[in-house]
Amino acid sequence: MRRFYFTLLVILAAHLGVDSRKNRRNLDVNPTEKSDVQQSMRNKLLHSYSRDDPPLPERATEVRIGFFIQDILPNVERKSLEVNFFFRQLWHDPRLAFDEEELGDESIRLSHSGSIWRPDTFFKNNRYVRSKETPSPEFLLSINATGHVWYVQSLNGEFTCPTLGEDTEDGVHHCAIYVESFGYKTDRMSLDWLSSPVDVDVDLIMSKFVLKNIKKRNCTNRQSGSFACLKILLTLQPRDQRGTTS
């Protein structure tokens, strides 16, 4: 659990430019006062806000995505990978911008992810994906003064990989995780990568495979009126073939 919060902090610090000096200054504010300000800002922002409408009325909302992979469990019998990961999404919702002065450079934290519009991204090749809810929901949703929304969820999912364990010419297996928009066509929502799109936990270890590399791919159908699609492609090499193939 401690590692989880540490990871979240690192993620936050890296992407929202949290400055330790600012944090120190905020400590001077009475904590009750601070949470009152947060509460009144939330009420103000969400007053007359429609979470059913995408942020921009005429243009596509660009959603930047990334993965922090903690654990991979390949299952040759089920031809799938079970993966524990943080799924990160960043987008701009100008309706949620606020006056920086009012909150002292802080971000607004939301504890109900359903109160604002969120991208309808889904994982096309999943058998299941669960968000971790116990003992408390593991997600982070924060809005900064310019209305950029940073959403991190801790997920556990199983993704199909039809060729896992099959004989291949080069002795390695390629397994994908597809991210696609469920209902918004590319003129309403587009997908792109975060500046650090795929990170892997340094402690990640698989008993029967070695993770050789992870590549990013664009799986958007080029036809007009299609849905944005990005995928990561994981290359796994069986452990017992190490040395004989390299």
Residue 187 makes contact with ligand NAG by CB under 6 A: no
Pairing mode, strands 209-218 and 80-92: unpaired
Q: Which residue, 145 or 210, is less far from ligand NAG as judged by CB?
A: 145
Q: Which residue has the tokens 């991979």?
A: 72
Q: One symbol per residue from 114 to 153: x for binding ligand NAG (CB under 6 A), - otherwise; what is it?
A: ------------------------------xxx-x-----
Q: What is the DSSP letter of 106?
A: P
Which helix (H) or strand (E) segment holds residue 221: the answer is none
Encode 74-113: b = buried (16+ Cβ within 10 Å), e = exposed.
beeeebbbbbbbbbbbbbbbebbebeeeebeebbbebeee
Q: Which residue, 209 or 227, is less far from ligand NAG as judged by CB?
A: 227
Residue 222 makes contact with ligand NAG by CB under 6 A: yes
Q: Decide if 175 contacts 228 (C-beta within 8 A).
A: no
In whole angstroms, how close is the CB of 220 to ligand NAG at the nearest point? Answer: 4
Q: Which residue, 16 or 214, is less far from ligand NAG as judged by CB?
A: 16
Q: Decide if 153 contacts 123 (C-beta within 8 A).
A: no
Binding span for ligand NAG by CB under 6 A among 11-19, 65-73, 116-124, 174-182? 11-19
Q: Which residue, 131 or 220, is less far from ligand NAG as judged by CB?
A: 220
In whole angstroms, how close is the CB of 120 to ligand NAG at the nearest point? Answer: 17
Q: Which residue, 44 or 242, is less far from ligand NAG as judged by CB?
A: 44
Q: Which of 5, 192, 213, 241 binds ligand NAG (CB under 6 A)?
A: 192
For residue 27 the two structure tokens come to 């400590």
Q: Which of 11, 35, 23, 44 is nearest to 138 (CA)?
A: 11
Applying CB under 6 A, which residues contact ligand NAG?
15-17, 144-146, 148, 192, 218, 220, 222
